[in-house]
Amino acid sequence: MKIAVIQMNSVSDVAANIAKATRMIERVVDLEGPDWVCLPEHWNWAGGATRDKVANGDTVPGGPAYAAAQQLAAKHKIWVHSGSVLERAEGAAKVHNTTVVFDRTGREAAIYRKIHLFDITLPDGTEYRESASVIPGREIVTYDCEGFRIGCAICYDLRFPELFQALAANGADVIALPSSFTLQTGKDHWEVLCRARAIETETYFVAPGQCGSFMAPSPDNTGSERRFTYGHSLVADPWGHVVAKVSDGEGFACARIDKAFVDRCRANIPVAGHKVIGGEMAPVRWGSGA
């Protein structure tokens, strides 16, 4: 299967972001002919205060971002793993951070809502409080895609290896992690964590990201400040090699993934069968779907 990762610089303009994502997907389809395409986190909206996120959140199903991704999948007969969108939550003054996946016919194939929320203070004092505007998800999600099982995660989930072990135990041989990693954390942690998750789970690890800057409220909410994302979207194979990568700026990268290579890696180093939990061997076989 040929896959593509899309790297964007989304802004606080839903229509502009949708138009850009459409152009980028149509360009990669025209030039590379992928079977499966993944957008980054927050591709429909970036920045703004909680009220802005709620006001510009997408309706799932039926919102403009949902409809655009669905139509692109059906038009080009590709799978669209629609990064993540800010999804309106019924009756709440917050949103979900939500992945929606569409198959080649435009049928909704999976929905995942981000579990781990980015509530941190960077070394320079910059604060991120995702929980102020986002309701966390609770469900671990995988879906079948033409001989592969793909596990869903989003951005800050990357730092919680238990989630990826659960995805592998549920049969995932590919994991998609649309992201909007900060520049400060990304330059030190992004690639090493992506490669580590690929090696630990012996999966293809597919990680498209946001690049460039966007405007966000200042910590005291009296103004706004420019924040920077890291980009460097990548695909790592089950041996931990980066086999595709986007350079600085908006763009895309493609790779071919091979189920037989996943199987060879797991046969060579069968870590799933060597797990020891609570002093006993864990009854886990990756790929079993258990």
Distance CA 266, CA 182 (A): 33
Ramachandran sector of residue 195 (left: φ over 0; alpha: ψ -120 to 50; beta: rest) = alpha
Domain-located, residue 229: yes
- Helix runs in the chain, H state only: 14-32, 50-55, 64-76, 161-169, 183-185, 191-201, 259-268
Give tens-digit pLDDT for 88-138: 998 899 999 999 999 999 999 999 999 999 999 988 888 899 999 999 999
Residue 281: its pLDDT value, please?
A: 57
CATH number, domain of 114, equals 3.60.110.10
pLDDT of 280 higher than 70: no
pLDDT of 290 higher than 50: no
Give tens-digit pLDDT for 194-231: 999 999 999 999 999 999 999 887 665 556 789 999 99
Residue 225: its pLDDT value, please?
A: 85
Distance CA 282, CA 290 (A): 13
Q: Active-site positions? A: 41, 114, 155
Domain range holding 95? 2-281
Residue 186: its pLDDT value, please?
A: 96
Of the two residues 180 and 218, the one the predictor is more confident about is 180
Give tens-digit pLDDT for 14-33: 999 999 999 999 999 999 99
Q: What is the pTM of this model?
A: 0.94
Domain-located, residue 288: no
Q: What is the dihedral of CA 62, 65, 68, 71, to 10 degrees?
A: -50
Domain-located, residue 13: yes
Cis peptide before 61 (omega within 30 of 0): yes
pLDDT of 289 higher than 70: no
Domain-located, residue 289: no
Give tens-digit pLDDT for 46-97: 998 899 999 999 999 999 999 999 999 999 999 999 999 999 998 899 999 9
Residues 6+ apart with CB under 8 A from 107: none
Domain-located, residue 286: no
Domain count, the chain: 1
